[in-house]
Amino acid sequence: MHLEIRSAQFADPDVRALLVDVHGELSERYGGTGDDTPIASDDFTAPNGAFFVADDGAALVGCAGWRRHGDDAELKRMFTAKSVRGKGLGRRMLTTIENSARAAGCRRVILETGDKQPEAIALYESAGYSRIEDFGFYAGHDSVLSYAKDL
């Protein structure tokens, strides 16, 4: 299966449809809406950030974006569809985010994840991310885990 990773507009209808799956899975794991972090569409538009999707030719099967957080790039909406998990797409998406953020002059990538996402935690740690003090919307929540990687 060929998967193309390409830039996309956060407000694109196909992206918005994929984000329904993202929130659905987070809701299954954590309850509620899954993630209440405020996000504006222009958070992922240069020079504020970037957004990427993975396209298998028939549908979008993954996404990830970054937005500026001071000198850092904050990773948001990292997701791969269940149908393509275990095939290295998450690592490819993460590398795409890191390369884009580095090219935009960011000094590191930071992120928040939750303790009910062991697959994500394993990916981030194996890719060189280290725990940092909680910083974002969920700072202080029991289940939040924050990470960073120098670029």
Taking the C-alpha atoms of residue 30 and residue 54, their distance in angstroms, rounded to an integer, is: 25
How do the domains of the chain map onto residue ranges? 4-111
Could you tell me the end-to-end alpha-carbon distance of the chain, in angstroms, rounded to an integer? 30
Average pLDDT over every residue of 57-80: 95
How many other CB atoms are there within 10 angstroms of residue 132's CB atom?
15
SS (H, E, C) 70-92: CCEEEEEEEEECHHHCCCCHHHH
Quick: pLDDT tens for 32-47: 766 677 888 799 999 9
Quick: pLDDT tens for 66-76: 999 999 999 99
| Reported pTM | 0.92
Quick: pLDDT tens for 86-110: 999 999 999 999 999 999 999 999 9
Instruction: Write out the two tokens for 122.
Output: 């394993």
CATH superfamily membership of 4-111: Gcn5-related N-acetyltransferase (GNAT) (3.40.630.30)
